[in-house]
Amino acid sequence: MPKLALLAAGVLSLTGIAAVAQTVEDPYLWLEEIESARALDQVKAWNKATEELLATDPKLASYESRARAILDDEQQIAAPDSVMGDLVANLWRDANHKRGIWRVSPLAAYRAGAPEWRTVIDVDALGKAEGKSWVWHGADCLAPAYTRCLVSLSPGGTDADVVREFDLGTGTFVDGGFTIPESKNSVAWVDADTLLVVGDFGPDSLTASGYGRIAKLWKRGTSLASAPTVLEGVKTDVAVNPYARQDGDRRWTFLDRGKDFYTSEVSLLAANGTVVRTPLPEDASFEDVIGGRLIAKLQSPLGTIPEGSVVAYSLADIEAGRPAAPELVMAPSKSQAIEEVAASDNVLWVKALDDVSGKLFALRRGADGTWAQTAIPLAANSTVHLLETAGATDTAFVTVEGMLMPPALYAVTPTGAPTLVQSLPAKFDAATMTVDQRFATSKDGTRIPYFLVRKKGVSGAVPTLIHAYGGFRAAQTPTYLTGQPYRAGPLGMFLVEEGNAYVLANIRGGGEYGPEWHKSVLRENRQKSFDDLHAVAEDLIRTGVTARGKVGISGRSNGGVLVGAALTQRPDLYSAVISGSPLHDMKRYSQLLAGASWVAEYGDPDVPADWAFLSKYSPYQQLKPGVKYPAVFFYSSTKDDRVHPGHARKMAARLDEYGNRFYFHEYLEGGHSVGADHAEDAHRAALLMAYLKRELGASK
């Protein structure tokens, strides 16, 4: 009988563990063999034990059924994936279309809230016809005609994909058209007969992170192998990526040589075919093009222009080799962070966070070179996402939502009130709940915001789940409580409905307050983000929201580093830990899949000085025998080719070795997003709710 998180007697032993121990330091390297028989046998045994244990929850099936109904509900926001002239494109997934249908509607009908959809590609049907487990990775249609598209499809949901040319008019793949074989491709249209392609071109064509480092200019009718190289990065770069923007009648094409995760050299492919380096600072981020100007966001001060500002450069000057000075477009206030930027034909749209609440601005450039901004009236204290823009009409499509407010889609213009395009009905009774923004004080005195949701009238300490991320400039904004698959679907809703509390913590490392909020916890300063999480947990205990023995934490991907460190540092504080697609072995992370691309965030474990600070918190190395740790729930995907599934496997194995309970669920498909479809996402939400009930007593 397995012990895995667990049954009262017995221990789930590792398959042949004594026979496969490879080193004293790490006897579990064999679990890094992603699809070896022995590793998968172990994964299947852990999966089975977890499924059998949690199947005893009498409400498991009802949680899964309700989660599936929410995720498959046809009353979803049909978010625009792209606006292509007078068409809007959308990928739609529901119960009958697990992998989705790519469809288009006339823009006017879509904007009026009565879209007239035409299915272009049925991903499920295509996969069945071709004998492939296709997962949609998007389509790039060439402006301004938008008749030819580059469709990206991934086998099983990995980051690697196949790119195929598609004719939007006929609804068929182009016979003899552009086709790029499976790899972590990056491609952009230069014109109807020319592509910029980065991919796997054979030996020595990839970076240490596993991405392409060579950009080729591929002409129709020639072989990709013979295409000339226009830019070449080095092995230690993260990647080279091409992209293009349509600006009126001119198509501007760029090449980005990513030197590390946060610095890059951005170059322009000039009309004469030469590659011209732009004056963009290496740590700035390219955002868009409007009116012949390159728009970028600064991560560091530039002269008198403060960090976090949006700036513009003349593309004509760059192409001609003339000096191009930056002009200020918008500078954030002290409480703001500029998060999203997109251009329509004549308007630059900027979404900012103000104490983690969304604000939207429309900016126009005057003849004197100054940019005037107009604030768009949207719901206060909400989360705003800038989705797409419609060029000629200078329209932006945005969603507005809150933890207790269902998402609504609006079409906005620089003048006039926003027009409601679509709103969703409530999925739960928000009148019975409250949401508050609070602030905890971290160890160094920094105020850390967090959002708390619970039922009205709740008295006394209740089980509480804190979700956090804390890295890569990714702000965590409060979304509707049914959540997203990234946050385990409607898990938060289940918790609050049953009298518990759900918390979203805005710890440092994200982008909630601009560049410094992120930079302050890079590399040797990572401990500050862990301290922030501890501070939120302790604040919830101090204020009586919860109590020791009732605090759970959740983190995914980079959040796995966070919750892994929290687990090992404060096993006294946390009683449940959800670790999704996690990084845990910081000694080997840079050698596994895309790990080398994150050295700028964490440090390089192969450099002794860096390992000195990494080793102080690396979760896998910090586990100690004789310590009772909370029972962790690991979830991941075998097909994750970004964060290696070996991180979760080895962490589980070591916990087991030291006599600790754990839960484990590894999907065989799905990639880094874990669930390949809504069925898997719903099942995970149900399992996690059953887990929290066992470990925190999170039930009525």
Token readout for 15 is 């398959």
8 Å CB contact between 666 and 636 = yes
pLDDT digits (tens, 9 = 90+) for 170-220: 999 999 999 999 999 999 999 999 999 999 999 999 999 999 999 999 999
Question: Confidence band (pLDDT; 50, 70, 90) for 483?
Answer: confident
What are the residues facing 434 on neighbouring strands? 454
**Gap between the Cα atoms of 372 and 366, Å rounded:** 7
**Gap between the Cα atoms of 72 and 91, Å rounded:** 13
Q: What is the DSSP letter of 461?
A: -
pLDDT of residue 11 exceeding 60: no
- CA distances in angstroms from 8 to 46, 54, 64, 550, listed in the order given: 16, 14, 26, 21
Phi-psi region of 525 (alpha: psi -120 to 50; beta: other; left: phi over 0): alpha
Token readout for 24 is 């004293």
pLDDT digits (tens, 9 = 90+) for 286-339: 999 999 999 999 999 999 999 999 999 999 999 999 999 999 999 999 999 999
8 Å CB contact between 182 and 161 = yes
Token readout for 58 is 């009498």
Which amino acid, residue 409? L
Burial class of residue 345 (count of CB atoms within 10 Å of its CB; 0-12, 13-18, 19+): middle
Q: Output the pTM of the full model.
A: 0.89
Percent helix, strand, coil in the chain, to 5, is: 25, 35, 40
Question: Confidence band (pLDDT; 50, 70, 90) for 685?
Answer: very high
Helix (H, G, I), strand (E, B) or coil at 628: coil
8 Å CB contact between 5 and 47 = no
> How would you list the strands of the sheet with 97-106, edge to edge?
82-84, 87-94, 97-106, 118-122
8 Å CB contact between 151 and 145 = no
Instruction: Over range 147-166, report the average pLDDT.
Output: 95
Q: Give the burial string for 89-110 (b: 16+ CB within 10 Å, else e).
A: bbbbbeeebbbbbbbbbbbeeb
pLDDT of residue 658: 98
Of the candidates 557, 579, 581, 637, the residue annotated as catalytic is 557
CA end-to-end distance (rounded Å), the chain: 29
Token readout for 360 is 């939207």
Question: Confidence band (pLDDT; 50, 70, 90) for 570?
Answer: very high
**Gap between the Cα atoms of 550 and 698, Å rounded:** 8
8 Å CB contact between 590 and 607 = no
* Spatial CA neighbour of 641 closest among 670, 676, 666, 664: 670
Pairing, β 118-122 against β 87-94: unpaired
pLDDT of residue 292: 97
pLDDT of residue 42: 98
Which residues lie below 8 Å from residue 608, measured CB to CB, with a gap of 6+? none
What are the residues facing 254 on neighbouring strands? 243, 268
Three-class secondary structure assignment of 551-591: EEEEEECHHHHHHHHHHHHCCCCCCEEEEECCCCCCCCHHH
H or E segment and range at residue 103? strand 97-106
Of the candidates 534, 584, 665, 672, the residue annotated as catalytic is 672
pLDDT of residue 123: 98
8 Å CB contact between 85 and 149 = no
Burial class of residue 51 (count of CB atoms within 10 Å of its CB; 0-12, 13-18, 19+): middle
Strand residues in 291-404 grouped as ranges (E): 293-297, 310-314, 327-330, 336-343, 348-354, 357-365, 371-376, 383-390, 395-402
Strand residues in 239-306 grouped as ranges (E): 239-247, 250-258, 264-269, 275-277, 285-290, 293-297
Helix (H, G, I), strand (E, B) or coil at 80: coil
Question: Confidence band (pLDDT; 50, 70, 90) for 673?
Answer: low
Phi-psi region of 43 (alpha: psi -120 to 50; beta: other; left: phi over 0): alpha
Is 557 known to be catalytic? yes
pLDDT of residue 67: 94
Pairing, β 348-354 against β 357-365: antiparallel
Token readout for 42 is 């172990």
pLDDT digits (tens, 9 = 90+) for 393-451: 999 999 999 999 999 999 999 998 999 999 999 999 999 999 999 999 999 999 999 99
pLDDT of residue 13 exceeding 50: no
- CA distances in angstroms from 46 to 37, 457, 653, 656, 659, listed in the order given: 14, 40, 10, 11, 15
Instruction: Over range 65-71, report the average pLDDT.
Output: 92
Which amino acid, residue 46? W
pLDDT digits (tens, 9 = 90+) for 459-474: 899 999 999 999 999 9
Instruction: Over range 594-601, report the average pLDDT.
Output: 94
Is 672 known to be catalytic? yes
Question: Confidence band (pLDDT; 50, 70, 90) for 485?
Answer: very low
**Gap between the Cα atoms of 519 and 509, Å rounded:** 7
What percentage of the chain reaches a pLDDT higher than 70? 95
Using the structure block, give the residue that is written with the tokens 């014109």. 191
Instruction: Over range 527-538, report the average pLDDT.
Output: 98
Token readout for 609 is 């000085």
Mean pLDDT of the chain: 93
**CATH dotted code for 17-69+435-696:** 3.40.50.1820
Long-range CB pairs of 21-26, under 8 A, 24+ apart, other chains included: 26/588, 26/650
Question: Confidence band (pLDDT; 50, 70, 90) for 57?
Answer: very high
